[in-house]
Amino acid sequence: MTELIQLTTRELRANAAAQHTIAEELAAESGAHVELTSMLDALGPVFADLRDAGRMLLDQRASCYQQLAAIHGDLSDKLTHAAQEWERADGDAASRLRTFHERP
């Protein structure tokens, strides 16, 4: 049995805004490891391997956050587009119904 999906463009836009906010937070977080980098830089030469491994992990972390930010940003764009298309389709359908109703 199929279920009726009910949503409004307001909900689509609210979700798009939430995804946009998440994307911005993830993008900001991707570069927020300055403090950790400073701690790694403070390690002496004995811990050079640890420092290098830590930097590599921080770079991977930043890359993951950037990828997630891009995914959430894309989802935000698609939700906004879906809301616009939904409203356009509703407007077109309303026009066709008016035209049909106004026929003699």
> What 8-state DSSP symbol labels residue 31?
T
pLDDT band at 103 (very low <50, low <70, confident <90, very high): confident
pLDDT at 32: 79
pLDDT at 1: 56
Burial class (CB in 10 A: 0-12, 13-18, 19+), 102: exposed
Three-class SS of 58-89: HHHHHHHHHHHHHHHHHHHHHHHHHHHHHHHH
| Greater model confidence, 6 or 89 | 89
Single pTM value for the model = 0.76
> What 8-state DSSP symbol labels residue 43?
S
pLDDT per position as a tens digit, 8-42: 899 999 999 999 999 999 999 877 788 888 888 89
Residue 104 has pLDDT above 80, yes or no: no
